[in-house]
Structure 1
Amino acid sequence: MLPLPLPRLVARFSLVLLGSILATAALVSFISLDQINALGEFSAEQNERSIRALARSSLASAVQERALHYQSIFYQAEKTVRYTASSLGRFLSQEAFYGQRNFNPKERLIRRSANGVFTNDLESLASGAYWDFDTPTPKIRQRINALSHVDPLLRHCQQATAGSVAAWVITADALSRYYPNIHHAQFMPSPEELDYRDDVCFASVTPEANPKGGPLWNEIYQDSMGQGLVVTLSMPVHDDQGKFVAATGVDISVQRLIRHVLDGNSQQGFSFLITDQGGLIAFPTGKLHLFGLNAADHLRPGELLRIGLTDSQDPAIRTAAQAMRDEPQGVLSLRLEQTPYLLAFERLPSTNWRLGYVISESNLLSSVRRTREALDQARVDTTRSILLITLLILPVCFITTLYFFMRNLFSPVRRILDVIRRVAGGEMQARVHLRQNDELAELAEAVNDMTERLEEKQTFLTQAETKYRTLFENATVGLFRSTPDGRLLSANTTLAAMLGYNTPAQCVAELEDIAEQTYATPSVRKKFREHVEGHPRPDPFIYQLRRRNGELIWVECTARAVRGSGNTVLFYEGSVMDITDRKRAEEYRNILSREILRIQEFERRRVALDLHDNVAQDLSALKIAFETLFDDEADLPPQTRERALRCAEILGKSIASVRDMAHDLRPSGLDQIGLDKTIADYCRSVASVTGLQVDFSSAGMDYVRLDGDAGIHVFRIVQEALSNVRKHSGADTATVRLVASHPNVILRVEDNGAGFDYPRRSHEAILEKRMGLPGLMERANMLGGKLDIQSKPGRGTRLRLEFPIAPDSRNQHSPPSGSTHR
């Protein structure tokens, strides 16, 4: 029987319980709402700050990438003009040799009566103009003949430079060559009115105006021949004695560059291009008012150049223009017409122009506003939900708690607890007996059922443990269990014998630190732990172990991490297999493969040298013999002389074929000009011979020198890849990228061809014993790198090779990360 004071005790307990529940609910609600509001504000601020920083970084990167693309055009122009200047200096220095015969055999000199200028005819490759003399003496004719040998170089210079409209040469002794042959002498005034040596393209590179002797980009101007805006690159030419003898250069129309800059402009953002003084080269006329610049709606050609950012009526634009002149790149914040904008700019090093991009800041940060609105709405919804849930939970908690405490729980619970403790102590026959018919009786019955199942499982576990121990001890592979700190918890007989111990007990007892006592390299233990913990499924891990007698063995370990509460690693367990014999076989196979490839390259080099030094030289001598066979026969029929020249032409093609064959067998440029330039030459050769458009570029390779084997492996991979593109893909465009990204070199070859099923083709290559794809994989292994080939039918093919740079292959003065060779 319950004592009489129980109802009053229940009442007091109910009041205290109700007050505690209400106070706790109010406190929890207040803290939760406060934390939700603080978290919302913090998230909004962090989101806005991150998006601003990311927007500025992304904008700067995009402008820098476009600037590098434009700069590559000017780098290519400088490269071709340098080569032309070097060759022209050799022609003029060796005038006695090159002046014997004109490059254009049928070239005739004609003096124009209108201006007194000597010129050639339209049959020559390039037009020539010669002034400052009355009669072409033999010495002058010899000089003209030597100068004519620059015609094919001018053609190459004009054709190899994007946007080029002309290539030219002006000598210090009043001779000139101009490609294309537009017979420009008829447009020239008389030498008394204008001497071409006074033109800025010649005068700007004389020793007095250009003491450093390098290439010089002249000011941009509006061309009078309809080519639009044109910029001229001039380069001085010196003879073998270092004397200034001529100027050469190329005229480049920047109209295509201007169109590219203006393409993609929209209401949100636009690009522009300015000179180093702030003059506008490319600028959307519809945006001039935004920069405070006054101009007519329709500008005539060349008028945009007369407008500069420094002429703006907006002080912010003038300040930005000064910053663009002072800094090579940057991102500026502007307020134009009461709207915030971001201006990113990048300098083009060759011409010193500035490429800029302007975008409204509100477009970049629109997601910030949407995020803040969503967070505000989420806070309101969360507050409403918390209050509603609290109101629903309060009465439920109060009633449920009161109900359970009104029941007499202590005696049944104490009896159940007593039985549980006895079962925990090993007394599996203990049972709970309750006479009442309620939840506690069900709990007692559940405890009894649990005890019976525990008794059955204990018997089963005892039997399973016996079977497991038998399997564990007699397994043919080593089995183990170890802690993260390196203690060995258990090992079987196979593992103990593998490590050189007599028994598993001895192995476990003596191995207190696995990393220091058994690992050949203790630091590998950390990699092992990262490998096992990072793979949810067991994955093989190969490393070296040291046996008890000091002998090193290779093992393959497959293990998993056993975790406890809180995802904490309790121990590792797995299997270990001795693969020392397999590793030795792999090493022997790699040595044989490396030797086979080295012998193959040696034989290729020997055959290439023999073709170049013997066959090609003999054919060259025979070609010269045919060309000079009838020089002393003045009365020889023209048909006979023409037949001999045709034979010489056929021999010339044969010589070129032999040299191409020798170059394919062993690219000689690897040792002289480096891997990137050799691959660039090969890509140009493939493009010229097959018609396949090959886009090659390299970055960071100027200071990387690979050893002979590594360089030839990379070259052969490129050669095989482009060969597969030509033969199988049906592509019209291929892209080759070679990038040094310390500590690795990355090669990518892509095409837009038909693609193929790579897994099936790779399997067929092994069955049919073809060496294409397996050969690529073997060379990648020789480089110590990883080759990845991705291709699907109809989606082209992508090859990616990444291999490490040897420690002594990089110059200690590394180039800038943006240095690029094309």
Structure 2
Amino acid sequence: MNSTPVKTGFRFLIIFFLLSALSMGGLSYATKLGAAKLGSFYTDENEDYIRKQVSGLLSGLTYEQAMKYEAALQKISSLSQVIAKQAGFFLSRIHTYGKVPMNSDEKLTVYPPNGIFSNDPFEMTGINFWGASALTKDVSRELRALSHVDPLIIETRRLIPECTTAYIVTESGISRYFPNTHNVEKLPPPAEYDMRKEDFCVMAGPEKNPSRKAVWTSTSPEKNGNRLLTVSSPIYSSKGKYMGIAALDVRPELILNALSDTGHHLREIPEGLFSFLTDDTGRLVACPPERLKMFGFETDPDGFSGGNKLSEASESDIRDLARAMTDKKNQVRQFSGNGHPHMIAFHPIPSAGWQLAAVLPESVFLASVRNTAGQMALTAEKLRVGFITGAAILLLLSTGTMITLFIRQFASPEPPADTEMQLSGNEISDSHAINILIKKYLKMKNGELTENDLVMEDDLVMEDDLIMEDDLIMEDGEEPEVKDPEPGLVDSHSKIVGVMKKLDEMQKDHSVKLRKEMAERQRVASEIRHLSTRLITSNEEGRKELAQDLHDEFGQTLAALHMNAETLQNSIPSDLTEQRLASGSLIGLIEQLGDKIRSISSDLRPDLLDDLGLVPTLDWYVKEFTEQQPDIKVEFQAVGFGNRRRLSSEVELVLYRIFQESMNNIVKHAKAEIVDVTLTHNYPNVIFTIKDNGVGFDEETKGKEGIGLLGMRERVVAINGQVDIRSLVDRGTMIRLEVPVD
């Protein structure tokens, strides 16, 4: 036995083992260090990037909402100023309007618990008077003059969904408000409570408000715990005398929840995003109560906060934030609230002198980065563990190989004896071919045979000396000379020939059944198309008859009714103003009904289509459509229709209906801005294309399920035409029709 190869292999394996161990340790350490540095770099870079993105997002979000609510607050402020001017007008002319009240049944009675005068709780407008212990003539005249402002107060309250109460408070101690909650029984005596001393009255008065503008303040909570925002406008007489205020109470949560309505900026509103309002002194006007602890304040049991000053917070970051917000400048910055970093953006609302702020915790928008860094660290650790495991397995295999080589050097195993009978080459080949044919026969029998299962030449590889059927047919009927074939080969040949004949017969039967099934499907499809054509024709005839009946019967009746109404109006004396106005309203309703019936009749079957043809009808439809949908630009052109060329009535009707259905789909679904319509007469065909730049749809799903698109195809097939509908998501839709007109 020569031991030299064993020693050489043994040395090689030892060296390989040591090098592998060292490499494994070095690479493991390098992988761990590199993963740590990569994770740190990834986290730092992405956090800075996301902070910039969130900063821009919050800035744009608060700017948009501040401008939106600036417009809304200006609208509400202007309405309160209108009420104030109207009240000043009537009070300046108290000698005229103080004689008769708007409501003749208006009566005030005193309530003994507090000595305040009030009206009936069933009146539309509530009235309280606490300025004196008796109703003097001057007070009564002022009450009657102010009653003429009631319709404006009621209408203003109904016009503004955010408004809870609209009211007037005068210097004489009168308040008129809508809706009438009849709160007089809950009010304390005038000596304990005077509404004229509330902030919303004092801040709008001449001392605090010399410019006489509308003033916004925060008032006491409602019954549901939410504080109200009040806009007050001073009332001055024509001579410049201060008479009181006109005010509207608004719910602040409509502003605080504003950021939840900006879905076009964020695919999902991040958890933790909230907003709050501060006044010009840094005092919280409104803030969600669960967020007060972030500023170091106790939760407000009334609901939305008011009264806490950010400048008085315990944390220095909050006080710095308050100073920045009182500068009235929009800004985005970071601050620490309740020990956690946050991103805040704020923007002024000029009409109210407030700041609208939006806050988002950093833990929310940086969570994805930190989660990704954690996943990267876990992945790197798994790779490192996998590498160490693989190296250890490799070392074990090397050791096993070394031991095996050492053992084989001393003892070589004897080759195993053949104990099984082997099939000859001819027997294997024939058996394989027969098995293939039998399997395919069974598939054909069960109806499972496919194109891939057809018997191919390569599947039936026979030996060159296999006896086939053609080899057994000789000229003059002589039998061929066979040199003692082996019995196994003869049996295999017979089996193959029999199976092939059986397969040929079954294939012929299958072809006959398939042709019959295809003929039956073509017949059913033809009948369906015929029925669809008849259904469309019947539907159009019904539309035409209904349109004719509406035009003839209802049109004549409405014309006669219009003439009778005008005659009735002319017969009413001019001094009966209300009756003449009522008859005028009746005439207007009759005219509207006539326009509606004509519109319905045109939609059912436009007269222009039968009288003038397709091109004038499409021109008319485009003009009507543009008036009703000014945001959608429709460009229509007809090519090859000179000298008023007409198509057959059936073709014109199909093209018009498809155009009508397409325009309806564009309005309902497409959200398009431009529609391009082209009608081309290119003998012997007419090509009609309708293309828009809308949102489109997925042809593989939504497009194939649309009933309207299916109806288009049925109409075009009925006149032997072709329709091609192409659409891409966010790229628009194109419908192309090609119809023979010969």
TM-score by structure 1 length? 0.41
TM-score by structure 2 length? 0.45
* Structure number with larger C-alpha Rg: 2
- Report 1 or 2 for greater relative contact order, CA contacts < 8 Å, sequence distance ≥ 6: 2
